[in-house]
Amino acid sequence: MKSEVESRPPLVAAAFASGGGTNVQALLDYQDNLCPWRLALLVTDRENAGVLERAHIAGIDTAVMPVQERPTSDVARDTLCVLEAHGVEVIFLAGYLRLIPSEIVHRYRRRILNIHPALLPAFGGKGMYGMRVHQAVVDAGISMTGVTVHYVDEEYDCGTIITQWQVPVRPEDSAEDVAARVLKVEHRLYPLAAEHVCSALIDGREPGLLDLSELLSTTTTDPEHIEQESG
């Protein structure tokens, strides 16, 4: 599904993450000469974040940007300095557990993407991340959850939706079962959404929604089979 963009330079990208960074790894694994972005920087708020090792192995620069007990204006200033020093043009949030300062949102309006492990607007907002989301899904007794990729604005999980992929929830599922199923879809969906947005930005056009109908018509929607099909 990768676009023919070899004649145009890819966008310089930064990933923001707070934890192990499996979605950062998915983005790194997707990159090749046709990819319309190139990850050049990892930003994390935690000195011991597992994602730092992934960045080291991939040979990309890292910046640890502490957030706790610091004025938001200072965080924004220091982060923008790092982003500008690396020439960053697009940002991918990948398990980053902090609200992005408004100064950064303004500078990168509709160039910051986030992936959320539910079908927004359901199960979103402050404090809704990771296993908290999946436990809320199980507690709600619903039969379908999913993954959402959206633009980032000044509020948690409220930016314009780019694409969504549904994931079934079975009556016997635990939160851990749902989390594992959703994560497989995250790893598949995020690179596709990033490609969709970055290709449009390179072309100078509005990305719009990513229509998954063609993809879903030619592949299974069962997350348990995604790794075999995509591998």
Nearest in space to 190 (alpha carbons), one of 139, 114, 129, 118: 114
pLDDT one-digit tens code per residue, 177-217: 999 999 999 999 999 999 999 999 999 999 999 999 866 65
List pLDDT tens digits, range 43-80: 999 999 999 999 999 999 999 999 999 999 999 999 99
Q: Which secondary structure element, helix H or strand E, spans residue 11, and what is its range?
A: strand 11-16
Q: What is the Cα–Cα distance from 101 to 103, expressed in whole angstroms?
A: 5
Bridge partners of 63, per DSSP, are 43
* DSSP bridge partners of 39: 13
Which tokens belong to 138?
């199980």
pTM of the model: 0.91
Output the six-digit token pair for 123.
Answer: 């199960």
Quickly list H helices, 31-66: 51-58
Q: Spot the catalytic one: 56, 116, 150, 196.
A: 116
Q: Is 196 a catalytic residue?
A: no
Q: Which domains, ranges and CATH numbers included, belong to the chain?
A: 9-108 (3.40.50.170), 114-188+209-231 (3.40.50.170)
